Amino acid sequence: MLKEPATKRGKATRDRLVAAADAMIAERGVEGASLDQILASADVSKSQLYHYFDGKDELVRAVIARRRAEIIGRQTSLLPELDSWDAIETWLKIVYEGHESHGFRGGCPIGSLANELADKDDRARLDLAEGFEAWQGLLVDGLKKMRARGEIKRSADPYELATAVFAAMQGGLLLAKTRREPEPLRIALDAARAHLRSYKTVRTK
């Protein structure tokens, strides 16, 4: 069970530990990041670790929660709502340019953990699924508003559309990461954009 610190000092220690684990996992993967390495990087003792976490598995779950909060926080600060064609277009551009700036290394912060953990740790898998749902929910909510305003067809299912977009994005990113080239992600996002726009209503005067 994840334990919340009772003091500011405790919170700072816990945050430092989770940040160190996040960085180590990003560099070496969950399997490659040992507890001893994480503790040394965070300058935290084992007794402090076990004060907040039952072990490495729960520390990894805290990393998942951290990444989820960072992704959603960053996106909502840039684009509070994905409820217009312009906003969606800007979001897709941000996604592409963000990964391009990192040379398509590292992949999706949530997706990379899902690739490693989904078949090994069911609690982590559920946390990751919730992370994707929360992130995807931002697009679902925006598409619902667009449908209510008549900007997409009434037959459109916002959840299915958002799922298609995220599936294309994650698949394109995985190929771009593997090939170390931008084309797979660009093609995948173009396909997602075209699929969304196929549901755009045609307004007549």
* 156-202: pLDDT as tens digits: 999 999 999 999 999 999 999 999 999 999 999 999 999 999 999 98
| Alpha carbons 62 and 148: distance in angstroms, whole number | 37
Question: 84 pairs with which residues across the strands?
Answer: none
Residue 78's pLDDT band (boundaries 50, 70, 90)?
Answer: confident
For residue 137, the tally of other CB atoms under 10 A from its CB is: 14
| Alpha carbons 184 and 104: distance in angstroms, whole number | 11
Tokens of 71: 């992704």
pLDDT at 94: 93
Tokens of 26: 């990003």
List of residues 6+ apart from 152 with CB closer than 8 A? 143, 146, 196, 199, 200, 201
Cβ atoms of 89 and 152 within 8 Å: the answer is: no
Residue 18 exposure: Cα atoms within 13 Å on the Cβ side: 24
Give first-to-last CA distance, the chain, whole Å.
59
Residue 105's pLDDT band (boundaries 50, 70, 90)?
Answer: confident
Whether residue 204 has pLDDT greater than 90: no
| Alpha carbons 200 and 145: distance in angstroms, whole number | 13
Whether residue 5 has pLDDT greater than 80: no
Backbone angles phi, psi at 152, to 5 degrees: -130, 160
pLDDT at 73: 94
pLDDT at 9: 85
Taking residues 38-59, what's their average pLDDT?
92
